[in-house]
């Protein structure tokens, strides 16, 4: 009898805890739903405010155009140079934009040159600890004597031409690097074959 009573009390306790968890869950869910509704209402309110602002601006612009047509129907008659001045202003703006674009392209090309030079310098530093061949010494002398790239005076067409030349030069360097690598592999293979033949003969 006592064990049955203990079991019943344990079940009642578990049921009470379960009910508390369920109530807590629904309270939290209700809170989240209220926050979600508040957020949605806030978004809708902002959207309506933006739509109203756009409508007001459109109406004001329309009114301004109507007033201009009513009060200044012959604006070009009283200001005959207005159209010319507007054209000159647009041309000046286009020229300024073109100049800025050219400057950006020159800067990008200069950065590309510096980056390539930095990579080449790092590669040479890694080889510095090794014994240099005569060919490497000559290449280093030529690299040291090479003048820095001057592109400040070049226009857009010349910049494109210079970029094409640099790209072609880089491709030639890659091809030469590949040829030298293959030649080195062949020399190593021939040397290994010679050594293997020597040991077998002995």
Res 75 pLDDT > 60 = no
pLDDT at 114: 57
Secondary structure of 10-75 in the HEC alphabet?
A: HHHHHHHHHHHHHHHHHHHHHHHHHHHHHHHHHHHHHHHHHHHHHHHHHHHHHHHHHHHHHHCCCH
- pLDDT tens per residue across span 116-136: 555 455 555 555 545 556 667
Largest CA distance in the chain: 113
- pLDDT tens per residue across span 168-201: 777 777 777 787 778 778 877 777 776 666 555 5
Q: Residue 60: give the domain boundaries.
A: 1-78
The CA-based dihedral angle spanning residues 157, 162, 168, 172, taken in that order and rounded to the nearest 10 degrees: 170
Res 103 pLDDT > 70 = yes
Question: Does residue 93 share a domain with residue 70?
Answer: no
Q: What's the CA gap between 107 and 53, in Å, rounded?
A: 42
Question: Does residue 167 share a domain with residue 103?
Answer: yes
98 assigned to some structural domain: yes
pTM given for the model: 0.29
Return the structure tokens found at 192: 């290994």
Question: Does residue 171 share a domain with residue 93?
Answer: yes
Question: Does residue 4 share a domain with residue 71?
Answer: yes
- In sequence order, which residues have a C-beta less than 8 Å from that of residue 153 and are 6 or more positions away? none
Question: Does residue 143 share a domain with residue 74?
Answer: no
- pLDDT tens per residue across span 10-64: 777 777 777 777 777 778 878 877 888 888 888 888 889 999 999 999 988 888 7
14 assigned to some structural domain: yes
99 assigned to some structural domain: yes
201 assigned to some structural domain: no
- In sequence order, which residues have a C-beta less than 8 Å from that of residue 160 and are 6 or more positions away? none
- Number of folded domains that form the chain: 2
Return the structure tokens found at 46: 């902002």
Total Cβ atoms within 10 A of residue 104: 10
């Amino acid at each position: 009898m006592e064990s049955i009573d203990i079991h019943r009390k344990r079940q009642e306790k578990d049921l009470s805890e379960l009910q508390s968890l369920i109530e807590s869950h629904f309270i939290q869910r209700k809170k989240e739903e209220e926050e979600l509704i508040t957020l949605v209402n806030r978004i809708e309110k902002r959207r309506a405010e933006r739509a109203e602002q756009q409508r007001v601006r459109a109406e004001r612009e329309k009114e301004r155009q109507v007033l201009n047509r009513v009060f200044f129907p012959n604006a070009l008659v009283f200001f005959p140079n207005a159209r010319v001045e507007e054209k000159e202003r647009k041309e000046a703006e286009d020229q300024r934009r073109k100049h800025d674009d050219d400057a950006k392209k020159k800067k990008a090309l200069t950065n590309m040159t510096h980056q390539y030079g930095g990579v080449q310098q790092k590669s040479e530093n890694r080889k510095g600890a090794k014994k240099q061949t005569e060919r490497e010494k000559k290449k280093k002398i030529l690299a040291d004597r090479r003048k820095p790239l001057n592109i400040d005076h070049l226009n857009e067409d010349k910049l494109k031409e210079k970029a094409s030349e640099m790209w072609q030069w880089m491709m030639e360097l890659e091809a030469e690097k590949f040829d030298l690598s293959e030649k080195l592999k062949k020399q190593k293979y021939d040397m290994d074959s010679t050594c293997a033949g020597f040991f077998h003969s002995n």
